[in-house]
């Protein structure tokens, strides 16, 4: 940050969280697209669609980790999107804050559940 930030040079947009979230939403989107094509490839390259083939894919450690990272990306992506929606349409500060907190808690619950699901096979 500039040391001379008096008067017209005053920095009024210091937090940069807008830029950070914008970039994070793009990065997580690209990751989810890569995961989609990986899943699609596994799906189409297998012969018959069976439980063994499907669960066997998720039984591998690399795929568990890949899935977890992608789901984490999904939840962050969803948080940015949902926050945008609440900010655009919910004018009451109290209600908006409540909805935002509920969204965070809900996404955290989903994240914990995802870990349980992925490591159950």
Partner 1 sequence: MSEAVRETSKKQRREFRNIHITELSNYRMTLASTVSILHRISGFIMFLALPLVLYMLQMSILSEDSFKYFAGIASHPLAKLVILGLAWAYFQHFCAGVRHLFMDLHLGLDKESARKSSVGVLAVSLSLTFLTALKLFGVF
Binding site for partner 1 (CB under 8 A): 26, 29-30, 33, 36, 51, 54-55, 58, 78, 81-82, 85, 88, 110, 113-114, 117, 120-121
Cβ nearer to partner 1, comparing 100 with 114: 114
In contact, 68 and 114? CB cutoff 8 Å:
yes
C-alpha angle 13/15/16, rounded to 5°?
85
In whole angstroms, how close is the CB of 15 to partner 1 at the nearest point?
21
In contact, 25 and 77? CB cutoff 8 Å:
yes
In whole angstroms, how close is the CB of 12 to partner 1 at the nearest point?
17
User: Which residues have CB under 8 Å from 5's CB, separation 6+?
Assistant: 11
Cβ nearer to partner 1, comparing 1 with 49: 49
d(CA 104, CA 95): 14
Cβ nearer to partner 1, comparing 47 with 120: 120
């Amino acid at each position: 940050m500039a040391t001379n930030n008096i008067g017209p040079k005053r920095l009024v947009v210091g937090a940069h969280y807008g830029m950070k979230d914008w970039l994070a939403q793009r990065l997580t989107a690209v990751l989810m697209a890569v995961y989609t094509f990986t899943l699609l490839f596994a799906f189409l390259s297998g012969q018959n669609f069976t439980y063994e083939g499907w669960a066997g894919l998720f039984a591998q450690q690399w795929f568990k980790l890949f899935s977890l990272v992608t789901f984490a990306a999904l939840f962050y992506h969803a948080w940015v999107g949902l926050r945008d929606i609440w900010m655009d349409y919910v004018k009451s500060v109290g209600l908006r804050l409540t909805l935002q907190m509920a969204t965070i808690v809900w996404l955290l619950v989903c994240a914990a559940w995802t870990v349980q699901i992925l490591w159950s096979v």
